[in-house]
Amino acid sequence: MNFNFLLDNAASSADAAQQQNPGQIWMLLGMYALLALAIYFFIFRPNKKKKKKAEEEMKNSLEVGDDITTIGGIMGRVVSIKDDDSIVIETASDRSRLRIKRWAISTIDTEKKNPESKKEEAKSEKN
């Protein structure tokens, strides 16, 4: 089957529309740009801010004894926290120590319980 007549018909109707009002294409592109901006400001930007705030809270809640993973994949236990924003970790059973910056922490692997969950556990133990 030959579908060239469909392509010719579509091309001629596009040419006719462009000849009638060439400003319509700019209006259409402007609408797409506004839609993209709206999606960015209402969806992506707030999520990025929430993620950054959660990471900052995680890094500030670091305590001695926590198990961590660095952005390089090194796993260890926090031995001390220095004032100059660096942390000393033990990485193995032979007690080798590394000094890293706080921004190099990827995750805290130690599970911490919230004060609210401790209260709930105490209530359930009493009953």
pLDDT of the residue at 7: 58
Q: What is the C-alpha to C-alpha distance for residues 101 and 106, in angstroms, rounded to an integer?
A: 11
pLDDT of the residue at 40: 93
pLDDT of the residue at 77: 92
pLDDT of the residue at 126: 60
10-residue averages of pLDDT along the chain (127 residues)? 58 55 85 95 92 89 90 92 89 87 90 61 59
Rounded to 5 degrees, φ, ψ at 110 are: -80, 130
pLDDT of the residue at 59: 86
Burial of 69 (0-12, 13-18, 19+ CB in 10 A): middle
Give first-to-last CA distance, the chain, whole Å: 80
pLDDT of the residue at 87: 92
pLDDT of the residue at 1: 53
- What one-letter code names the amino acid at 23? G
pLDDT of the residue at 111: 80
